Every structure is written in structure tokens, then in C-alpha cells.
């Protein structure tokens, strides 16, 4: 019998196909074909390794020197990190390194000129150094960016006072209070404005209102203690001081009042009160400087 060439060719092709299928690896993907997934990228050992949000929150409870080291590392990992720059600047300010603090904040303000918190930090640093004039422009910018925020205006009052512009300072303080009527820090700043001008009665009224607020801090209580001491109300002043200050600091402050006779114009300097707070409060340093000038 003659063989059909076409049928023999088809059979041979089928056999070859079976052999090929038997020896071929399993396909990567079923029809329709898709490109294989790329291998996961290996982590870059040189990439920044920022601290976690929890670690950053814990850093806020550290002593200033430790905080400064922590935030310096964060800034070195990412020089554009505004939160890290603010943290470093605030820690340096707490250490009394005001110029270094201002440098950190001012550099970040060039990177993030519309970051209100960065602008406020820059202003705090200049004010802490006694250079309120250089805080005015950052505060104007911050107020423009956040017109309903009381903080730039309250800080502006302090900056204008340092720049010997008391009338404008009073306007700024009152504007801050109009935005946040019962804010303890805003009330405290306005109170010390009056205290430095001899109106301790008005200062006492404002500070009693401040310490009655839920968000009050040791700073407001110690400012009230100062004003009460200046008015000769040393028993109440002592009660407030001993709430927040260690015994030796409270004793030194009481000695100041005894030396001055509870009157303005004393030339001696009291011991430091509560540690500076991140909020834009002032302590009684502004009042004592006014006393020293006979203001």
C-alpha cells in the first residue's frame, strides 16, 4: 500500500510537537502573554533613614542637648525636612544658642518660604536673641499666609516692642486677642506689655484671666507671680512660684521681691523662672529689663 505523503508529514509534525512540549519548561504566563514582573529593587544603603513619627514624638520629651543631637541627625539626612529644622532650631534656642538657632530656621525659610511654622520659628529665634527687628518680616509673611492665626500677631507685638515701636506693638497684641480671645499666651504677652509700662493692675487682670484658661502653662502662672510680687502681694506670688519652680529658684525670686520692696525700679536681677516654652510667651525678663532702664 502506498503511503500518503501529506498524512505522514502531519504525523511527523505531531510527534515533534509532543516531544517539544514534553521537554519544554512551563510557560511563565498563560495567554495572553504578559511581561515578567521586575525583581524588587534592593534598598539603597545611602538613602536617608528618617526617624519614625513615634521616635520624633519621643524626642520632644528629651533634654535640649539630646534633642539637638537627634534633630541634627535628621537634618543631615534630609536638609529639606522642615519638621527636623524646626526641632533643631527650638533645641538650640533652649540651649541659649540663639544665633545658631536663627541660622537653622532662616536657611529652612529659604527652602520653604510659605511654611508658617518655619517663619514663626525664625521669628522666635531672633526675638530670643533680642533682635526683634529681624523677626518683623518673617512675621508679616506668616500673617499674610495665615491671616486667622493669632501667633504671628502676638509674636509681632514682642518684636515691635524690641524695636522700640510700642504703639504698633499694642495694636498687634490686641489683634492677636481678637483672633483668640482667651488664649493664655496672647493674654500673657499683652499683660507683660502693660507691666513693663507700670500698669501692673491691668497686667494682673489679664494674667488672672490667662491662668484661668484650660490651656494655661507654668509660664503664665510665673508671669502672674512676677506681677503679684511687684505689687507687694508676695504671699500669693510665693504660692504660685512653688507650684512650678524648685525650692532654690523660688527662694531666689522671693529674695528679689524682698530686695526691691515689692516695687518697680529694682536694679537687681531675679533668678530665672520656668524654662522657656515653645509658645511665644515671654517671662519676666522683659519686665526686669524695663526696671533696669527705669521704665
pLDDT in tens, 228-254: 999 999 999 999 999 999 999 999 989
Q: What is the pLDDT of residues 162-205, one digit of tens each?
A: 999 999 999 999 999 999 999 999 999 999 999 999 999 999 99
Q: Does the global pTM surpass 0.85?
A: no
74: which residues sit within 8 A by CB, 6+ positions away?
50, 51, 56, 81, 84, 87, 88
Half-sphere exposure of 18 (CA within 13 A, CB side): 6
**Percentage of the chain exceeding pLDDT 70:** 72
- Bond before 90 cis per omega within 30 degrees: no
Q: What is the rounded average pLDDT of the residues 263-289?
A: 40
Determine the Cα–Cα distance for residues 67 and 103; give it in Å rounded to an integer. 17
Which residue carries 536681677 as its cell?
269
Exposed/middle/buried for residue 229 (C-beta within 10 Å: 0-12, 13-18, 19+): buried
pLDDT tops 50 at residue 100:
yes
Residue 22: pLDDT band with limits 50, 70, 90: very low
The 10 Å Cβ neighbour count of residue 200 is 23
Give the model's pLDDT for residue 60: 87
Residues 96-116 have a mean pLDDT of 97
* Separation CA 80–CA 129 (nearest Å): 25
Distance (Å, whole) CA 178 – CA 191: 15
List domains and CATH numbers for the chain: 51-164 (1.25.40.10), 182-295 (no CATH)
Query: In the predicted model, what is the mean pLDDT of the chain?
Result: 81
In the prediction, which pLDDT does 12 show? 41
Q: How far apart are CA 204 and CA 231, in angstroms?
A: 9
> Considering only CA atoms, which of 193, 198, 207, 142 is closest in space to residue 165?
193
- Dihedral through CA 219, CA 140, CA 116, CA 58, nearest 10? -20
Q: Tell me the average pLDDT across 61-75.
A: 95
pLDDT in the model for residue 55: 93
Assigned C-alpha cell, 124: 522666635
Amino acid at each position: 500500500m502506498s503511503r500518503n505523503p501529506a498524512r505522514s508529514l502531519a504525523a511527523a509534525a505531531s510527534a515533534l510537537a509532543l516531544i517539544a512540549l514534553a521537554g519544554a519548561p512551563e510557560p511563565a504566563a498563560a495567554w495572553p502573554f504578559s511581561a515578567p514582573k521586575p525583581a524588587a529593587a534592593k534598598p539603597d544603603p545611602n538613602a536617608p533613614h528618617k526617624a519614625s513619627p513615634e521616635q520624633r514624638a519621643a524626642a520632644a520629651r528629651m533634654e535640649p542637648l539630646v534633642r539637638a543631637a537627634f534633630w541634627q541627625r535628621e537634618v543631615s539626612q534630609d536638609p529639606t525636612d522642615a519638621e527636623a529644622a524646626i526641632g533643631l532650631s527650638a533645641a538650640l534656642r533652649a540651649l541659649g544658642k540663639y544665633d545658631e538657632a536663627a541660622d537653622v530656621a532662616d536657611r529652612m525659610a529659604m527652602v520653604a518660604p510659605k511654611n508658617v511654622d518655619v517663619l514663626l520659628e525664625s521669628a522666635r529665634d531672633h526675638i530670643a536673641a533680642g533682635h526683634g527687628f529681624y523677626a518683623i518680616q518673617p512675621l508679616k509673611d506668616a500673617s499674610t499666609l495665615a491671616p486667622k492665626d493669632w501667633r504671628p500677631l502676638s509674636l509681632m507685638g514682642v518684636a515691635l516692642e524690641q524695636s522700640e515701636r510700642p504703639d504698633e506693638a499694642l495694636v498687634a497684641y490686641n489683634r492677636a486677642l481678637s483672633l483668640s480671645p482667651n488664649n493664655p499666651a496672647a493674654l500673657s504677652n499683652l499683660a507683660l506689655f502693660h507691666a513693663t509700662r507700670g500698669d501692673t493692675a491691668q497686667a494682673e487682670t489679664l494674667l488672672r484671666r490667662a491662668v484661668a484658661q484650660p490651656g494655661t502653662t507654668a509660664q503664665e502662672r510665673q508671669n502672674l507671680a512676677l506681677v503679684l510680687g511687684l505689687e507687694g502681694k508676695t504671699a500669693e506670688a510665693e504660692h504660685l512660684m512653688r507650684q512650678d519652680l524648685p525650692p532654690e529658684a523660688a527662694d531666689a525670686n522671693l529674695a528679689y521681691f524682698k530686695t526691691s520692696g515689692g516695687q518697680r525700679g529694682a536694679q537687681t536681677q531675679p533668678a530665672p523662672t520656668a524654662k522657656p516654652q515653645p509658645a511665644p510667651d515671654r517671662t519676666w525678663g522683659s519686665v526686669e529689663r524695663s526696671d533696669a532702664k527705669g521704665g
